Structure 1
Amino acid sequence: MAEKENELCESLIIWLQTFNTAAPCQTIQDLTNGVAMAQILHEIDYTWFDVSWLSRIKDDVGDNKRIKIHNLKKILQGIVDYYREFLDQHILEFLLPNLNLIADHSDATEMGRLLQLILGCAVNCEKKQEHIQVIMTLEESVQHVVMTAIQELMSKDTLDSPTSDLPGDLESQLRRTIDALHEAQAEQEELKQRCEELDLQVAALQDERNCLIAETELQNERLNQLDTFDEPSIMVSKKYSQMQMQLEQMKEDNYRLEAAKEDYRIHCEELEKQLVETQNRNVELASLAEESRALKDEIDILRATADKASKLESTVETYRRKLEDLADLRRQVKSLEDTNLVYMHNTVSLEEDLKKANAARVQLESYKRQVQELHNKLSLESKRADTLAYEMKRLQEKEDALLKEKEVRHPLAYIF
């Protein structure tokens, strides 16, 4: 597993070296300060990772861990925002690399995760076709690892990959194209190995042919030196004939191998053409995938608009039914207005009567108070009259008593 992660990180570093960066990016240690990665992101999409964003990445880092962490956080946050805002994808927390391990230990696994996210930005940006073509120019082993990293990034269930919204046919076609590309690369590698083996066989046959030619020439010289055709010379002649036949056979084998080598070379060139066509087709399918994704978004918008239009139609139908009852409502409103006018006149009349009644009530209250005051005065006067009557009666009795007493004392005074 660790070897696989190291291979991923090394292959992605080789891919990063295809960009024109002022900062070095040859090893993991070169990338831990974040400067080279920031410059690469700026080159991938200079409108999003603009000069203002790039200026916040500090160049003078050295061995300062705090500045390294600062730069890496800025880069990671920029990538997350790019995925969310520009690509409409969300990266979950457990997919994010551990920046402390990158800054402290130059961890290849965590660096591979971060570089894989940068790779996702490159193959999904507006210039993705250019970046894919650059990837296709890398060595086959590096190209295979990078393509596997792209497929892994696309296939993560927790990441909204560009192919997750594709129709089934287009997605399967893209998958088949990628598989065909891998098969073509494997077949190309096998043919190259076969051509190398044939080259070795041809070289060995040529060496053997040269040896036989040299030996034939030596035998010819010996034959020329012989004056008589004795038994040894006959044997040499037979051996020479055999060698001639063997040489002819080897010539035929050499010719056959040369023809087979040429056939394999032609077949290899055809496979290379097919590989280029497949790569171009892959780029076209990626473009179609992007277009299909945009069309799906547009379909979703149109579907929402259609639902809204259906609701509006039902609302319009409701209003239409209400408008059909509008004449009755108007007559009812007219009748209510007339009734309301009568009520208003009655209300005005009642208000005037109420004002008069209020005035009469006030006057009645005044009269009541006056009557109460008169009753009080009458009570007082009655009491006073009773008192005076009592006093008068007492005085009258006193007077009668005095008169009686006087008559008793002077009876003759009343006679005269």
Structure 2
Amino acid sequence: MEETQPLPQSELALCDSLIIWLQTFSTAAPCQDVKQLTSGVAMAQVLHQIDVAWFDESWLSRIKEDTGDNWRIKASNLKKVLQGIMSYYNEFLGQQISEELIPDLNQITECSDSVELGRLLQLILGCAVNCEKKQEHIQNIMTLEESVQHVVMTAIQELMSKEIVSSPTNDAVGELEQQLKRALEELQEALAEKEELRQRCQELDMQVTALQDEKNSLVSENEMMNEKLDQLDGSFDDPNTMVAKKYFHAQLQLEQLQEENFRLEAAKDDYRVHCEELEKQLIEFQHRNDELTSLAEETRALKDEIDVLRATSDKANKLESTVEIYRQKLQDLNDLRKQVKTLQETNMMYMHNTVSLEEELKKANAARTQLETYKRQVQDLHVKLSSESKRADTLAFEMKRLEEKHEALLKEKERLIEQRDTLKETNEELRCSQVQQDHLNQADASVAKSYENLAAEIMPVEYREVFIRLQHENKMLRLQQEGTENERIEELQEQLEQKHRKMNELETEQRLSKERIRELQQQIEDLQKSLQEQGSKSEGESSSKLKQKLEAHMEKLTEVHEELQKKQELIEDLQPDVNQNVQKINELEAALQKKDEDMKAMEERYKMYLEKARNVIKTLDPKLNPASAEIMLLRKQLAEKERRIEILESECKVAKFRDYEEKLIVSAWYNKVKIP
């Protein structure tokens, strides 16, 4: 056998869906897959349920249920099913099945072909949707899944589109062909039954020969036993002996074998009679087939004559139509001659027009050269404009950065002025207190000496060591802040400024490239319009020049697009660096906040120690001035520390503002890029 090609998915889906639809009928035979349906029993039971009156019990009894693996019985069952379907279509529905829808039964029985089985199931589906109970069957179809419903409905539409309603002119021919097909099918069935009977007769002959051989062997054994019986006459008289028992047993076997032999001979005679009857029927079918073939040949000859007559009538109609066409052409010929004269006159007029247009074309070429020079000048001006715009953007960025520095310096100046005013006030207060202290020292020198000795005993032991340690810690913190954080902040600020410069340059280049793209697109649109205007004319030179210009502009446009993509990639590469710098600034701000908290804790400790010192001095002498040199030193250190903290806070605020401004610029640029 030849190798089977892979089946298309649509035909496999048709077979599977129709098997699912077939399972909605309650059949005694299994119908789960293709192999179970090749016997034809389940399909016959479904047809019996579709129309009980047509596919009655007598027709159903002709289908052999015990098929096994015998493909001949399966083929005969499928032929009977197909004959019943075709007779139902022809006689009950009055329709003729197309040759495309008739399945190949040999492929179903031998290869279990799903495509051919799907065609047979499609014919059964047509019987169901055209019978008297079609509403019930359609409702059953609607209960299936949507995919199965879709495949079943397409199968019904295909079946309805390929059905051919029998026409009254070809009734006799169709009936003869149907009779011929039925006779051929009956002949094939008879041949198949004859082959089965012949095989059965051969099997029975072999059984008869085997039984005859067995009979001969038994006869020989019987003779031997008779001889033994003659020799042992006395032993047969006694039924209890072993010889008598064997004799009776052998006699019983002989009787059984004789009965079996008679039964087989009777069956052989019956089969022989049946075979003779089938041979007679075969001869009758052959005579009938010869008659039908002669009738078919006559019908074919009549069909050929009808086709010839139709062809001649078609030719006559065509000739009549051509004659009428030629008459109309003769009438139109006179009109065409008149039109030729008018066209000659218009041609002369067009010649004069072409001469004038050539002169205008020369003038236009001269103007075109001037226009090209103007375009070159415009391009040079565009280049200058782009460079100036870049320069203006850089200057604007520098101006913005200088304004920020100016604002920071103004704030620093205001803060220094405030500190100067506060220092002046404190200086005046200290002078007044110093004058008062001098007067008090001159008046009460003796009392002060005793109290000073007491304060000298108390102060150095408890507070001076603490003040010295705190001064050392303050200096160390200040050195650490100035040494590490300021350098890192300055480096990050420089990096941010460089990145901002790059981003501004790229944005300006991008803006200029977008403007250039718009100009090129406008030029392309103008060139396309001019090409469309000159498309109707047959001027080859001007159109080729315009096409060359269009190609040049398109190349420029692609180059500008590539540059724009490269700049966008550069901006995307710069974006993660900016994010990293922002993260570093956030980390530094967190460190500054932590150090601010430490400084606040130290200030609280300073205040606590100062309060303790003031309380001690007040308890010693309320007239004494609490402001001493060490306290003034501590105040100066605190003021310097606060000034340093304010500077760091202002720098952090500036860094935050710059970060926020950078984010706004990036978001605005992305929004511009996203806008088509």
TM-score (norm 2): 0.23
Q: Which structure carries more relative contact order (alpha carbon 8 Å, separation 6+)?
A: 1
TM-score (norm 1): 0.38
